Amino acid sequence: MKHMADSICRGAPSWRRFVALLFVILLGASVAGCDSMSIFGSVSRSGAHPNMAAGSAGRLQAGEKIKIFVVGEDKISGDYEIDPEGSISVPVAGTLRAAGLTKSELEQRLAQKLRSAQYLRDPMVTVDISAFRPFYVLGEVEKPGEYAYHAGLSVVSAVAVAGGYTYRANKSYVLVQRAGEHEFTEYSLPLNVQIYPGDVISVPERYF
């Protein structure tokens, strides 16, 4: 870029040198900005292992359905859905935060609530997920939309569920927005990128 500016400026009138330098500066700024912005808004490139990228992996999320079992307590045991605020309402225990916790952490918190209410001295609580949040596939796939999540899902299998790539698809990378995040992360393919409940996958279009 510096050599370009020198060759343009050499021998030109002062006002033309100024215009030429301004053009070179703007050109450099636009090239530098291409890596960080796209039609999807802010995009970052992943430097982490693709299966460790989601901080919410293994943690409960709003919209998921869970099954709670308390030994000997039919009144408390049952199916619950985590509301949009991330909470559940359980008889005796009341309303408690569930989103962001692991199953084990929710088990401990619920047991503590039951002890604090002096309802059970030593409650035995089990929490399991009965229905995950769906994931979403957008862009250059045959059937973009919302799909039911199952454990062990990867980008490759998610694209297959959505009918496969279109002929316009760019198969060299994919954009993934993790649940709870506000920007897409770019992953080079064919890495085995793990997908989690609530993730949004966007397959870009190739331009040549």
Q: What is the pTM of this model?
A: 0.66
pLDDT at 22: 42
Confidence (pLDDT) at 190? 81
Tell me the C-alpha to C-alpha distance, in Å, between residue 55 and each of 61, 71, 81, 83, 189: 12, 32, 22, 20, 21
pLDDT on residue 42: 53
Predicted confidence pLDDT, tens digits, the chain (208 residues) = 544 445 444 554 554 454 444 444 444 444 334 443 344 455 555 544 444 444 455 789 999 999 999 999 999 999 999 999 999 999 999 999 999 999 999 999 999 999 999 899 999 999 999 999 999 999 999 999 999 998 889 999 999 999 999 999 999 999 999 988 889 999 998 878 899 999 999 999 998 7
Closest CA relative to residue 174, chosen from 158, 151, 163, 150: 158
CA 127/CA 70 separation, integer angstroms? 9
The reported pLDDT for the residue numbered 59 is 87
Q: Which CATH superfamily is domain 37-55+133-203 in?
A: Outer membrane lipoprotein wza domain like (3.10.560.10)
φ and ψ of 103, to 5 deg: -60, -40
- What tokens does 107 get? 């088990």
All structural domains of the chain with their residue ranges:
2-33, 37-55+133-203, 65-131
CATH (residue range 65-131): 3.30.1950.10
Other beta carbons within 10 angstroms of residue 87's beta carbon come to: 16
